[in-house]
Amino acid sequence: MFNQSKVNFSRVLITALALALFMIPSAVMSQDVANGQATATVQTPLTVTATAALAFGTVFQGVAKSVAVNDAAAGVFTITGQGGTGISVYLQLPDYMSTATGDDRMVIAFSSTDCSIDTTGVVDPTGTIVGWTGINPYSLPATVTVSGGGASSAIFLGGSVNPSVDQAAGAYTADIILTVAYNGS
C-alpha cells in the first residue's frame, strides 16, 4: 500500500517536473511576446462591381433605341475601396453588337454625354448625382476618388443602338469593360 503510494507520488513528481521544464521556456517566450510590439496595416480591398447592365431590351429593325445616362435602364458600375483614394478609371466600349455566330452586327454608339460619375454613394442612375454628369465615356476624368465611409463610387452609362432596316433578327451581344486602378500606389 505504502509502496504503491510512493510509486504514484514519484510519477506525479516526474510529471510535474516535466511540465515545469516545458513551462519554463514557454514563460520566457511569453515574456518576449509581452515585450514585443504588434503592428498591423489594415488594407481595404478594391472591389469593382457591375450593379446593373446597360439594357436596351428588345429593339426593332430600322428603329434606333437610346438609353439615357439617368434612365433606370442605364448600366451601373460601383467601386469600393479605401475612402478618398485617387483611382484611374477607363471604359472600353464596343462599336457594334454581334450575334453568337458573328455573322450579323448591329451598331452601338456612345455619345459625349453618355456617362456620369458619382463619388458620394449614389448608385441609382435616376438619383441626384454628385460628381460629374453628362460626360464623355471615352475620356473619363482623372480626379475620381473612392467614396469615403464604405460608400461606393458609381459610374453610370447610357448609349444607343441603331438596327438597320434589314437587320437580321436574333440575339446580339457585346462587352463593356471597366478597368480600375489605384493611382497613388
For the bound state, the minimum distance from the C-beta of residue 32 to another protein, rounded and expressed in Å, comes to: 19
Contact 79, 155 (CB under 8 A): yes
CB of 35 to another protein, least distance (A): 19
The nearest distance, CB 78 to another protein, in angstroms, is 7
Nearer to another protein, 31 or 92 (CB): 92
Q: Measured between alpha carbons, how far is 141 from 138 in angstroms, rounded to an integer?
A: 10
Cell of 64: 434606333
Beta-strand pair 65-67/159-162: antiparallel
**Interface positions with another protein (CB under 8 A):** 39, 41-61, 75, 77-78, 81-82, 85-86, 88, 90, 94, 97, 99-100, 106, 141-143, 161, 163, 167, 169-185
CB nearer another protein, residue 129 or residue 159: 159
What is the sign, positive or negative, of the torsion defined by CA atoms of 47, 48, 50, 51? Answer: positive
For another protein, the closer CB: 20 or 150: 150
Minimum CB distance to another protein smaller for 8 or for 170: 170
Q: Specify the 3-state DSSP secondary structure of 105.
A: strand
Give me the sign of the Cα torsion angle 133, 134, 135, 140.
positive
